[in-house]
Homo-oligomer: A and B are copies of this chain.
Amino acid sequence: MVHHQFAALGDPTRLAIVERLARGPTSAGDLAAPTTLSLPAVLKHVRVLEEAGLVTTVKRGRVRECRLRDDALVAVATWTAQQQALWSTRLDALGTLLEDT
């Protein structure tokens, strides 16, 4: 169900969160700090990313640590590669067809 991941990454705020998290884990508060959004808003986004299987969070004391899942983007990467492969082989087939005629 890769479209969940795409949908999650489709929001600019969430995309930024993932980019941030790719540099290393942080607290929810630190994710909110650079933005103009409220903490609750950011936390909602984090939840969406969690449900899409892109992010995991743990609560340590009163702070919630967010980290990118190791396997976060493999589904996206493989889907993309697959479609590109399909499309390019089709283009190749068309190319050789044109050569032959």
Contact = CB atoms under 8 A, between A and B. Distances in A.
Contacts of A72: 87
Contacts of A24: 90
A30 interface: no
A64 to B, nearest CB: 19
A18 interface: yes
A62 interface: no
B80 A73 contact: yes
Contact of A77 (B9, B11, B80, B90): B80
A83 B7 contact: no
A76 to B, nearest CB: 5
Contacts of A73: 80, 83-84
Interface of A: 2-4, 6-12, 15, 18-19, 21-24, 68, 70, 72-73, 76-77, 80-81, 83-84, 86-87, 90-91
